[in-house]
Structure 1
Amino acid sequence: MTVSSSRTGAGDPRRAPRRRGLALEQAILRAALDELLEGGYANLTIDRVAARAGTNKSAVYRRWPHRAALAVAAYRGIAVTEDLPDSGDLRTDALALLRAAAERIASSHGEVLRILATEIPGEPELLREARDQLTEAGTRRWLTVLGRAVENGQARPEALTPRIATVALDLLRHEYLVRDVPIIPDSTLTEIVDTIYLPLVRTHGDTGTSSWH
């Protein structure tokens, strides 16, 4: 989903083109993302989202019972969709995954994540749902890449667990959410992969092709 800053359809929803089903849902989610990016969660209201989407409040409430649920759904709408790297080399693919994640963090995707992580602690169930969605998507991708490496002998089978597979991604999120580093340098990504991730997942005695010294 792309984030648009326009207010097409804002104003009287009765004058906007009538939309139904998926088209209306996507318009509402785009409006919610725009509102989150412009004003944060504190200023997110169903009224503002409905006006921006060119619809009425009842159309929003039929799908999401409150603004926290809407905010999480909006975040879900910008989930990862790019192809997985498959170079045949674990280090190359791990770096590609981590770089793509860092690029997302530097984009509006990362800003929405920061907003949800820092501004909805009063909604513990919804915050947990947002984190679970983020974790699930990342876990699937890293498990797939690591599984390929296990099959071709570049990683040990015992490493193929969600906790180990996503350790590099967890460290990246720590840089962003805990250390508050908005733009994470490539040297940090390389260090995470070469000094932590690869030694953790490699077969014993396999030094791989790491260039980190």
Structure 2
Amino acid sequence: MNPSTESPGSDGPRLGRPRDGALTDRVLSGAQDVVIEQGPDRLSADALAAVTGVSRAAIYRRWPDTAALLAEIVTRCRPVPAIPDTGSLRGDLVGLLEPWTRALDRDERLVATVLGRARHSPALRAGLEAAVVHPLDAAVATAVDRHVARGHEVPAAGRVLLGRLLLALWWERYVSEPAATTDTVVAEMVDRALLPVVRST
């Protein structure tokens, strides 16, 4: 996808023209399919036009290049589940790690596919931060704040370490694409790796 070599033609960019939401969603969904099934290097205006039936001109109006399109796809992903309110920090963290009990879903597969490419793309790194880093930060803040509200103390260092460990677990999941595990193993991860750092002083 390279506007410098493929001209949009007479149906070029129109300043101030609003996006067609349904068409945009169709392109983004099609782009996600292409990336997951064929890899990010196969993403192009021609590939998207073939998959979605949307003209190359319409694609160029929305995204100047592949990096911008990839970043938007990733930003729209929701690979981090909402953290449940189970009444305990342990239960909340076990619920947060529910993805480990199943194979990677569609959004996770996209993140796993583009992760290495983000090293060379600031836009894609920003998309991954929006999709993974910020939701995990929010989940940690929610879980710890609930724990404190129940009358427990959490050292500042413990809050930071919990966030770092969870982020490391998430990246490791996408890099290694492990098989689904059991609820028992997830609970052991929480008991042996996560809760001790929250309780440290």
- TM score, norm. by length of structure 2: 0.77
Q: Which of the numbers 111, 120, 127 marks the counterpart of 2:109?
A: 111
RMSD of equivalent CA atoms: 2.6
CA contact (8 A) 1:143 1:160 kept: no
Instruction: Report the 3-state secondary structure (helix = DSSP H, G, I; strand = E; otherwise coil) of the residue aligned with 2:97.
Output: helix
Alignment partner, residue 14 of structure 1? none
Alignment partner, residue 8 of structure 1? none
Give the aligned length: 181
CA contact (8 A) 1:146 1:160 kept: no
Identity among equivalent positions (%) equals: 28
- TM score, norm. by length of structure 1: 0.73
Alignment partner, residue 176 of structure 1? 173
* CA–CA distance in structure 1, aligned partners of residues 25 and 158 of structure 2: 36
* CA–CA distance in structure 2, aligned partners of residues 78 and 131 of structure 1: 9
Instruction: Report the 3-state secondary structure (helix = DSSP H, G, I; strand = E; otherwise coil) of the residue aligned with 1:201.
Output: helix
In the alignment, does 2:116 pair up with 1:125? no
In the alignment, structure 1 segments of 5+ residues that lack a partner are 1-19, 205-213
In the TM superposition, what is the alpha-carbon distance from 1:136 to its structure 2 partner?
0.9
Alignment partner, residue 146 of structure 2? 148
CA contact (8 A) 2:39 2:113 kept: yes
Matches within 5 A, 1:151-170: 151-156=149-154, 158-159=156-157, 161=159, 163-170=160-167
Alignment partner, residue 210 of structure 1? none
* CA–CA distance in structure 2, aligned partners of residues 57 and 189 of structure 1: 45
Matches within 5 A, 1:49-128: 49-80=48-79, 83-100=82-99, 102=100, 106-121=104-119, 123-128=120-125
Alignment partner, residue 139 of structure 1? 137
Output one character per residue of 1:18-60: Cα deviation in whole Å (capped at 9) or x when no partner.
xx62111111111111111110111111221133222112222
CA contact (8 A) 2:88 2:147 kept: yes
In the alignment, structure 2 segments of 5+ residues that lack a partner are 1-18
Letter in 2 for 1:43: R
In the alignment, does 2:183 pair up with 1:202? no
